[in-house]
Each structure stands twice: as C-alpha cells, then as structure tokens.
Structure 1
C-alpha cells in the first residue's frame, strides 16, 4: 500500500484512535507499525486473534495488562556488562509479574472458551519467578535497596544509624546549651554536603570551631560543622561510601541474573506487546461497534450497513455496497456535499481495516476481499474557477494509478474527469473506467457528468448509484441508492428558493425531451426504491417479531422441561421417603413378632399373623399409576361377543347374541326366535353390559411349614451368615424351638465361622455339634430362645 493512500483514506487517524487503546508503549509501537496484509492466511490469523480478544473483553470487561514495561534497553545493557539501576530492575520484575498474571488470566478463560491463538501466545511467556523474587526481595516499591538484600548491607546500615545518632546527640547538647543558643540563628540541626551542621550567626563563627559548609543568601547565617563532630561525620561519610559499594555489588549481581535470561525476557516482551496489541484492537472494536468480517480472496466485497469510523455515531449514515459479484464498477452521481466522497472513503478505509486484522464498523456477515493495492484519487470539491493546474494534478495521480493497478486492485476516483470541458471530461472518464475494468480491478467512481449514467446502463459490469436528496428540505440524506443514477435537482432547488417561474419554464423548455424523460424515470425509480426499502423494513420488523415469539416459546418449553424434571425429582424423593418409612415399619413389626414369640414361648397365633400382615400391607407406599390412554374404537368395529346387541343386516332386525356356534357364526335371539347368523351379516350396536363380580381376598390361614434344618454347605462364611440370620427369623415365627445348621466338615473353617456367629446371636439360647444321626461334626444343633 502507498503512504499517500493511508493519508487520503485517513487510515492514519484510525491508527491514532487505536493507539489510544493500548496500555503500554510496546503495544503502541506495534500499532504504529500496522499496515494491511495481502496474504489471506495472515489476514485471517489477525482477524481470529482480534475475535479472541473481543471474546475475552466481552466475558471479563477488563484485561490485566498493567505493569508491562519496555525493558529491551535494560536487557541490552545487561548483556554488555553494564549495571542496571533500581528503576530498571523494578521494571523487569513488574514485566515478569504482569506476564504471569496475564498468562493465568487467559488460561482461566480458556478452560471454558476456546482461545487457541491467545493460549499459544501466552504459553511462550516464561514466568522466571526466581528472578522476580530476587529483585523484589532486594528492592522495595520506591526503588530503595532494602537492608535485607545482604548481610553486609544490613551491618553497614546499622553502623550508619549508630553514627548518625551520636552526631545528633552531640549537636543537640550544643543547641540545648543556654550559652550557645544566643550564638545560633535557629536551634535546629540540618545537613549540608551530606554532613550534619548547625546554623550559626556570622559574628560567632569562631565560637564552635570546625568547618563552614554553607551560608545564607544574606551572609548573616553560617552552616558550621562543629569540631566535636567532625571525626564522627568523617566516620559516617566512610560508612556511606561503604554502603554505596555494597549496593553496587547487589545491583551488579541482579544485573548478572537479568543478563543470563535476557533472551527469554526479550521474547516475553514481544509476546506481551502482541497481547496488548490484540486487546487494543478488541477495545477499539467494542467502542466503534464493529464486527468480525468474512475474508475472501475472490474479489468479492459486500458491506452491510457500513459506517465510517471517524464520523460520530449520531451523524454517520450506514451504507450498503456490493462489488465484485454481479458488477465490478459503481458510478455514483448526485448533488454536491451529498456524501459521495464519504462513500468512497468508507469503502476504501473499511477494506484497509479488514486487511489489517481490525474488525469493521458494519453488520455481522459483511464480506471483504484481499486487495494487492488500494488506490485513491480523492480531492476537495473544486469551484468553477478551478484551473488547469488542478486538472493536471488529478491526471498525474491517475496516470500513476493506472501504471500500478492489477486484477487485485481497488480504485477509487472522486469527480472523475472534472476540471476540464464537460464533453471531453465525460469522454475521458468513460475511457479511464473502461481501461481499469479491462485490467480486472474493482472501481468506485463519483461524477457529475450525466453521460456516465447512460454509460453504466450500457455495460452489465457497471452499475449506477446515487446519493439521495430530499427536495422538501433541500438537504442530502447521505443514503446510497445502488441501481439508481442521480438526477439534477437544479430546477427544484431554484423553485423553492424563489426563482421566478418564467425563468424556470424557459429553462425547462431548453432541456431536451430525452433529458426530461430520464429525470422522470429516475424520480420513479427513486420512489420505487423508497417503497421497496419501506417494505423491506416492515418485513424485517415482522421477522424480528416472529423470532422473538419463537424465542419466547422455546423459553417456555425449556421452563416446562425444567419444571417437569423438578417434579420428577420431588416424586422420587417422596417415594424414597415412603419406602424408607415402610422399611422402618416392617422392622418394627418384625421386632414386635420376635418379642411376642419370646414372651409367649410358643408359636404365634393366627390372629396375630393376620394383624402383622395387615400392618405390613398398610406400610407399603401406595404409588399412583398413570392411566393408560384409551383409544376409542367405534362400536361397529369392536369384536362380537356373547351378550352384544346387534343388527342382522339381511333381516334389518335387532337382536342379542346368546351363543357362539362356530368360529364365524353366532346364535342370535330376535324376539322369541333364535337363529344362527354368520358374523359378516351382523353389525354390533352395543357391547354387553359388564358383569359385576365381587372379589373376596381370603387370607391363608396356614403357612408353609418351616424346615427343621438349613444347609449352608458350599457358601462362604459371610453368605452363610446371611442365610442363617433369615432362617432363624423364619424359625422363630414358625414356632420352632430347635433347628440344625448343616455346614459340613471340610477344612472346618465354615463350621467354626458359623458357630462363632451363632454364639453371639440374639435368638440362640444354646448350640452344640450334632450327635449320632444328627450329622456329627458336620452340623450344629441350635436351641432357640
């Protein structure tokens, strides 16, 4: 891109606005170097980085970029063996801390939101926490090397404080002495040339001895270091020199540490500068209400509601421009100050922004292509006195452009052919557009010449456009109307401004009928365009209303699903509580049965079993079952059964089925007659009435007898215990006093485990191995309580 184009299209002003969004000099430096790229892969990468920055800014609102410093000069000096001062070292520590904080910030967002480019950038930032800690432990936030930086420094500063204390004590003795006070200008201790002194009147200069270090402007006061403190001040001076040497050693060691990782620090700086640059673009996009453009390499441009970023939001008029699909050239006509030049600049500037990786102030879905060059011949509107030199200047610039253009160029001509004879200027303008079109470049040109309107109609690759003019207010609306050429508004304006009607009538007669027809046609096109735009806006309003209604319905469905899930959860919780209650009740019932058996020492009576069974049934949760949806089948299509009221079709008589005499034949009673009729000759009228039956539930008065023995052979001890526990409960309910547990001999482990458990069982009164005929050592006889 040529530097002149940047100035003409005011890209440099966009750079100034963008630069104000950066938080560091590093970011501003990258912004100042920003130029459009002609590599589509690079442009897409830039746009993706900007979009990721916008995502972070949208989610968080702010980005922690504070503390980034330009430490490149410090790193270079450290490499050369120089010593960094405390401010430079603190800048290094601040940059390291800022890098670590930003790295963690991006990593946290990337856990839930994909940020591949920012993650890759931040992964390159080395934390270098050891160096940061070394610097911050040695230097405080005010740039002072702290006592704890080294043991030697701590010791020498302790000595300095002791010497200063002794000097002050001696001087305070002097200024508190009543004889000395009359010789002092003020009873204070001050410092001159890094030495403690007292202000003495001129006439008493020899009273204290010592050294005169300074005097007041009038000469009436001398600042004297009394002889009694000269030695201590000398000692203090030596200690401070020693302190300086120790500080120098500390700074030299820290500088050496910086030099060792200078390459990593410089790479960190580059990454942080890029991050600052990306987030500056994101903030700028937010401020100008920009969106991410679609990038292509096919010469296709489609700007939707594009706005010039340098015009205030309240004044800018959005424009729609499409170029490169149906047509490759746009010729814009219209009145002066109508917005033609702004249209040219908007198309060129937004294209440059998109190619630079900036989001553009246009609606989402706007499309931009990659141009190898953008060329503009745009100048201020000239008056009727414009001279040949102005025309020559335009032709010189246009000649330069024509030598440079390729099939991937965008050419912007403002008032093409102006500044010369109208006939020659129009012909020259058409020839230039033809030449540029033949080279395959994209063109947007403005003109006053009416000849170019017909030129655009005759060429399918060229389209007319105009800027709208309101005849009622005599002001342009700045709206671009593509497909409609501009028309002369001279007569309308003159009439509304009071020009006599006779002059207007004569002027209209001088205009050819063809010109009048063209103006009438253009006026009709403009009216149709306005109506179409109104219809489009109404359709857009209806579409938004439908989308809002759809959104509300979807939201209601979502809320319904959420409520349904909540109700299901409540039902499950209630069922769980009911089952838990039933389980507790069952346990209580069983405990009561056991206690009853123990108290009565006999089998449980039948009425008690019935009562327990009733309590168990009452404890079961009653779950309501959803009724199956009934399908209504017409009576005539229902199967025939005995008792159904039917019509005998062949006799047209009603009757009732009393018997089935075959697979497809029934006996039907009609009055007092009974006849056999095939099912195909019957039509069902009413189904038989349901018979009411009474179901009597009879509780079984006797239980299945409980066996006298339980065989647990082949089970583990744990499984055998479970079987035994259940069996003993059943034996107790069944009224048994003695049972046998068959565990077999084997290794003896199962028998030992069973007996060990039975000895502690609440229902076991006594136990022994089986005797002869009882299984011997392979069985255990249990006596129940």
Structure 2
C-alpha cells in the first residue's frame, strides 16, 4: 500500500491511536496500538472486525470477563534467560496474577465448548485455542507466595526454621526490652508513655540525653532535635546481632528459592512469552471495543471489492469534540460505485467539504485497521489497496516548495501509483496558482485519474471541473448544501448536482459594501451571476422535491403496511370461517349417528312387538318426530353458532380499530407516562445513597448501602459485603436482620460449608506485617480480618513491630472502622507488648 508519511496526522488517526492507548490496561496493549497497521487483505480485515464485534458483545452482555491483572512481565522473563538471574518477589507476584488472567480468559472463551454448545464468540475462541495456561507454574508459585505476594514461611523447610528462630529471638528481645523499660520507668529514667522502637534494624529504647548513662548499652542514633537518644541495652546486643544474622540467612534462602524457581521456569519462557502475546492481543481488542462503544461504532457489510456506500457516517473525533458542548454532528451519506467512482464536491467555504473528505479518509483507514466505524448498519464498505491524500498547505523552505509545487508533487505521485484499487482524497484540487491554468491542469490530471478507474473524493471551486463531471462517465458532482435564506451552511452532502460557492451571498452577509458587490458582479459578468443563481435554484428545488419524495415514500410505506395488515386480518377471518363450518359439520355428523342409533332401536322395538299395527304405527310416528326435531335443531344450532362466531370476529375487529385509534390519540400521554416513570426511577436510584437500607428485588434480606460507584453499590448484609447493580435494589424502611451464627443458613450449599470448614482448619490466628509498606500492610490486615470474621474466630494477633510506630497507628486506625471488632489492645509485655495488637472479634 502507498500513501504519504503524514497521512495519519492529516486525517486525525494519530489522535485515534492516543485515545486507544489510554484505554489499554498495560504496555502490552499500548504496543499493539502503536504497531497497528492498515491492511488491504479482505480476510484479515474481516477477522479483525469480527474479533472487535464479539468483544463488544462481551462488554455489553457479560459481567465476569477476567480483566483484572494485565501485567507486562516480558522484560523480566527475557532477563532471566541468563543463567543465575532470577525473578524478585514483585515480578513473581505479577507473573502469577497475569498467568491466572490468561488461564481465566482461555477458560471463559472455551466454556461453551466444554458444555457442548456452540460458542457465541467463535473468532475469539479460535484466537485462544492453542494458548497455554501453565497451571503447574501457577501452582508452583502458589507454593512459594502468599495471596498477598510475600514469600511463605513454608516455601522451604530451611526458611520456616529461620523465621521461627527469628520470631523467637524477636520475642525474647521484646520481653527483655520491656523488662528493662519498666525498670527504667520506675526509676524515672524513661517517661511512662515510651515504647521500644526500631533504629537501623535493631530494637532500642528512647532516652533523654542527660539520662543516657543510666542504661548500660550502645547509643545508635539520636533524634533530629537532639532531645532523644536511642540506646540498645547491653543485654539485647547479642540477640540483636543474632537477628541480623538470621535476616541475612532469610534473604539468602529467599534468593535460593527464587533462583530455583527461575531455573524451573527458564525452559518454558518461549511458550510463556507466546501466551503474553495473546494477552497483549486481548488488551488491544478490548481497547478497540471500548472505543467503538464510545463512538457507537459498528461493522458495516464488508465486501471484497472497491465500494463506498455509507449511510449516516460520522467523523468520530468531531463527534467526541461536539459532544462536550452538547452538539451533534451532521451525518454523511456518500456512495462511490463502479459507475460513479470519483466524486467532485463543490459548495461554499466553511460548508463542510474538507470535513467530508477527512471523514471518508479516516473511517476507511480505521476500517482497514480493524476498527468499528460510526455509521448506520445498512452501510456497505469495500477494501482499497492504497489511499492517497492531499490536504493542506505543504510549503517547504528547505525543499524550495511553494503551496502549488507541493500539490503538483503529490499529483505526480498519485498519477504514477494509483490504480483501480486506489482511493484518492484531494482538497481544493488545482488551487494555489492562477485559476485559469490551475483549473486546466486539474482537469487534465482528473482525466488521468478517471482513465485509471481510480476511486476518489475531490473538493474544488473550479467550474470547469464541475462541467467535466457532468460530461464524463465515472465522475459525478456533489454539493455541500447552503440555506440561502438563513445564510448558513447545512453541512449536508447531496450527490448529483454541483454546488454554488455562494460568494455574493457570503460577501453580503459579512457586510461588504453593496457598491463593491455590484462592481464585482459587473466585472465577472451577468451571465456568470445568473448561472450561479440558477444553480442555487436547482439545488433548492432539488432539496424541496427530495423532501416531497421522502414524504411520499413514507406514506406509501405506511399504506403498504396497512394493506398487508388488512390482508392478514382477512386471511384470519377466512380461516376462522372454515374452522366454524368444519366444527358444524362434525356436530351434524354426530347428530346423524345419534339418529341412526334411534332408528335401529325403533326397528328392534317393532320386531319385539311381533309387528303389531298399533305399536308399529306409534314407533314410526316417534321416529318421524325425532328426525324432524333433530333436523330442525341441527339447522338452528348451526346457524346460531355461525352467527355467534361471526359476531365475535366482528367485535374483535372493532376492538382492534378502537385500540389503534386510542393509541394514536394517546401518544402524547404515553410519552408523558414514560417520562413520569423515568423520573420516578431516577428518584428511586437517587434515594439509594450510603447509609440507606435496601433489599434486592424479590428477596427479603435487608442490608445497608456502604458505597455507590456509578451503576453499582456495595451493600453490607450483616457481616457480608457484596456488590449489586442499582437497578436490582429497592429502598426499604426495615432494619437489617441480625445474623445468628449458631443457626445454619438454609441457602448455603454443602460444598460451601465444606470449603468454609477447610478454611477454618487452615486459618492462622497470627499475621506478620513487619517490613511491609503501609498500604501493603493495610491490605494484608484487611484480608486477614475479613477471613477471621468469616470463619468465626474470636481472637487474632497482628505482629507489626514497634519501629517508629507509624505501622501500628495505621493498623489501629483501620481497626476502629471495622464493625465486627469488639476490642483491640497491646499484647501482654511477656508476649510482645506494643509490637503486637490483639484483636477480639
């Protein structure tokens, strides 16, 4: 494909790339956006568009697509290809979470195959069919890392031993320090509220400088103000040294574990990298899908030919820009086919010609890059092998090029390389030089384009190009409409006639003196002015008759619908009539059978009476009367039934007509009712605010709203928090029910109970957050407290150390906000003191 290097900026595609990059979850997708290319292969474009279309459906219809962790660990994986290199804790944590995301995405896309059904996302499923998920690697990492990304104590037996000894030594130091501290406090050497703290990794006691000799030990540091020194008592020096040694042993053991895992991972790195390419592709497709939803993009009917048949096409960047000011873009209807390949657009300045040109270039380029485009579903689009564009001023001091020279250079490139599969886009064709010769050269170039059967959109003001379009097959005129009465552009393209520049009208609107306008009209000649006016009248009349034609078409469509409806009703009536007659015949047949039975009974009676004349005569009379009564009854019943059925059908037709008239007359009231319902729904959603009592529609459990995020709300049902869509909630005045933990809930499955029992058996009542950053420690404590409440623990311990006291303060501030906590305090001095917080639940 061939097009100028500055093609993308001129049509605005570089801004599209920027918007797409912002929607990517990681550098994985951002790299794909940067490498996104134009394709002229029909099958490739079709597949790209199908992938995005399917993902748009996932975003609209699915709530559980795994898109939490898109980490780019490819640089880390490439680094550890060297023997001896290893992944650190954070890199290992990112690897595990991203591998789990890849595994979950593959499972999501293959779930219907597993269930024996056809996948609703066949293209995405095909993309994921050969992707490896590495469950063994994930399990191995789970054996090494905790859920919060820290090396587990049981990652190896040696690490478990080191950490046990480290904990015992720390507890011993803590007890010794607390004993020394109490003695110092009783002697008045240290204030009552002082606690042991950490300096350079060693537990020390803060003391005033004047009293530092009262405590035997090593001075490690002093405060910035000089009012406090930090002393390590002699009794704990050796123990602190031992802690340093154990910490060194711990680091070496962790590195050994990480090196061992990296050695295990190294042979699989090429396959893992391939899986990350899949993750990058998913991130890229997701970004394009989100952007498609933002601009209301769709996949038009794609054909493997050169074609533009677009309805209600919109420039996406202009659409987003105007939407910020509550304005709408005027959509573009355009058609380029084998019979009208080149469109010559004329019309007033600032009438939308250049926007029309850029819309065609941008949407076609987006489409062949695999992006959905904003246009109507009935649109048809084709594939072009190359796109050429000539927009704007390309003056160059370095290359000694004027505006006209640059245009001619572009024309030369286009004429040399264009063919029947090319699309050319030229703005102000022939401009930049003396009009007469510029128009002549432009007409000659246009003739070459037409001979090469090239497709294109060209804007111009030259009359000779408009005449050329009228006289040559394959070229067609188009006009940007202008309202001469309101003196404003309509930004609508109309194909079939050339447009007027409205130079006189625009000059008069701007306020140019009438004598100047009169002089200009005299200079150009009355013939030109009249021709321009005639052209304006033609355009105006065409707009008028086009409106009339649309109205007639709508009425004809309405008439055809009405005729079809009445024909269907007549067919139903005929079917009903036939059904009534059929049932009547069946009933008559049944009466005949009853009569035959009566006749046979009468004959039997005559035979039994041995042919007595009197009895025979009576039997014959009874039979005659019965036959006459049956015939009369059958005839009367049949007539009554048919009449009744016909009456019911007529009443049904009348009711339909009355209902239709009523619906027609009450359209406004229905709209008002819909608006009233919308208002009530908005008020209901507004009433669901933090602190409100709500329940899920169709359920009786009452919960409290903790937080509202967009269309979702976080609800607390007792000690359980859950996220629910606002549309599923309703406000209630009832108080939330208290949960009785001793009562077994009838809605909890046995599998869930078994899982909870196993979780309770494996739950540890202590958590160690020393050495973590504040946010990491708070996250770990949050999960720990939630699990403790979930499994029903009555008491847990949080080991945060003393240090500067910041970690202790942060954790206790959080504990004050948890409703399930009854009380928390320091551990007993003998068991850790202020370095441990005991929490009663």
Same fold (TM over 0.5): yes
Superposition map of 1:147-296 within 5 A: 147-178=153-184, 181-184=187-190, 187-296=194-303
Task: State the match for 2:152 in structure 1.
Answer: 146
Task: State the match for 1:628 in structure 2.
Answer: 585
The SS at the match of 1:217 is: coil
Name the CA distance, whole Å, in 2 between partners of 1:547 and 1:58: 36
2:109 is aligned with 1:106:
yes
Q: Deviations over 1:593-624 (max 9, x none)?
A: xxxxxxxxxxxxxxxxxxxxxxxxxxxxxxxx
**Residue 254 (structure 1) shift:** 2.6
Superposition map of 1:296-307 within 5 A: 296-307=303-314
Q: Which has the higher helix share?
A: 2
Question: Do the aligned partners of 2:339 and 2:474 also contact (CA within 8 Å) in 1?
Answer: yes
Task: State the match for 2:350 in structure 1.
Answer: 337
The SS at the match of 1:418 is: coil
2:338 is aligned with 1:325:
yes
The SS at the match of 2:624 is: coil
Task: State the match for 1:609 in structure 2.
Answer: none
Task: State the match for 1:418 in structure 2.
Answer: 431
Superposition map of 1:401-440 within 5 A: 401-440=414-453
Name the CA distance, whole Å, in 1 between partners of 2:433 and 2:415: 20
The SS at the match of 2:389 is: strand
Task: State the match for 1:126 in structure 2.
Answer: 132
For structure 2, list consecutive stretches of 5 or more residues without a partner in the other structure: 577-581, 590-621, 629-841
Q: TM-score, length-normalised on structure 1?
A: 0.66
Aligned residues: 570
**Structure-2 change in CA distance of 1:43 and 1:330 (3 Å):** same
Q: Deviations over 1:607-659 (max 9, x none)?
A: xxxxxxxxxxxxxxxxxx95436999xxxxxxxxxxxxxxxxxxxxxxxxxxx
Question: Do the aligned partners of 1:31 and 1:277 also contact (CA within 8 Å) in 2?
Answer: yes
Name the CA distance, whole Å, in 2 between partners of 1:210 and 1:556: 106
2:12 is aligned with 1:10:
yes
**Residue 547 (structure 1) shift:** 9.7
Superposition map of 1:683-722 within 5 A: 691-693=624-626
For structure 1, list consecutive stretches of 5 or more residues without a partner in the other structure: 565-624, 633-688, 696-785
Q: 1:88 aligns with which of 79, 87, 91?
A: 91
Q: TM-score, length-normalised on structure 2?
A: 0.62
**Residue 390 (structure 1) shift:** 2.5
Q: 1:41 aligns with which of 43, 47, 56?
A: 43
Q: Deviations over 1:336-365 (max 9, x none)?
A: 111110111111111111111111111123
The SS at the match of 2:340 is: coil
Question: Do the aligned partners of 2:461 and 2:501 also contact (CA within 8 Å) in 1?
Answer: no
Q: Deviations over 1:453-495 (max 9, x none)?
A: 2122121221111111112222111101111211142333445
Task: State the match for 2:828 in structure 1.
Answer: none
The SS at the match of 2:329 is: coil
More displaced, 46-55 or 94-103? 46-55
**Structure-2 change in CA distance of 1:87 and 1:18 (3 Å):** same
Task: State the match for 1:309 in structure 2.
Answer: 316
Task: State the match for 2:68 in structure 1.
Answer: 66
Q: 1:22 aligns with which of 14, 21, 24?
A: 24
Question: Do the aligned partners of 1:388 and 1:420 also contact (CA within 8 Å) in 2?
Answer: no
The SS at the match of 2:149 is: coil
Task: State the match for 1:355 in structure 2.
Answer: 368
Question: Do the aligned partners of 1:334 and 1:487 also contact (CA within 8 Å) in 2?
Answer: yes
**Residue 21 (structure 1) shift:** 2.8
More displaced, 451-460 or 527-536? 527-536
**Structure-2 change in CA distance of 1:431 and 1:360 (3 Å):** same
Question: Do the aligned partners of 2:484 and 2:505 also contact (CA within 8 Å) in 1?
Answer: yes
**Structure-2 change in CA distance of 1:495 and 1:9 (3 Å):** closer
Q: Deviations over 1:348-389 (max 9, x none)?
A: 11111111111111112323332222111111699xxxx983
Q: 1:77 aligns with which of 71, 76, 79?
A: 79
Question: Do the aligned partners of 1:124 and 1:271 also contact (CA within 8 Å) in 2?
Answer: no
**Structure-2 change in CA distance of 1:3 and 1:131 (3 Å):** same
Task: State the match for 2:528 in structure 1.
Answer: 515
The SS at the match of 1:177 is: helix
Name the CA distance, whole Å, in 1 between partners of 2:127 and 2:569: 43
Question: Do the aligned partners of 1:294 and 1:366 also contact (CA within 8 Å) in 2?
Answer: yes
Task: State the match for 1:639 in structure 2.
Answer: none
**Residue 328 (structure 1) shift:** 1.8
**Structure-2 change in CA distance of 1:16 and 1:554 (3 Å):** farther
Structure with larger RCO (C-alpha < 8 A, sep 6+): 2
The SS at the match of 1:305 is: strand
Task: State the match for 2:485 in structure 1.
Answer: 472
Q: Deviations over 1:230-259 (max 9, x none)?
A: 111122222222222222222223323332
**Structure-2 change in CA distance of 1:134 and 1:543 (3 Å):** farther
**Structure-2 change in CA distance of 1:692 and 1:253 (3 Å):** farther
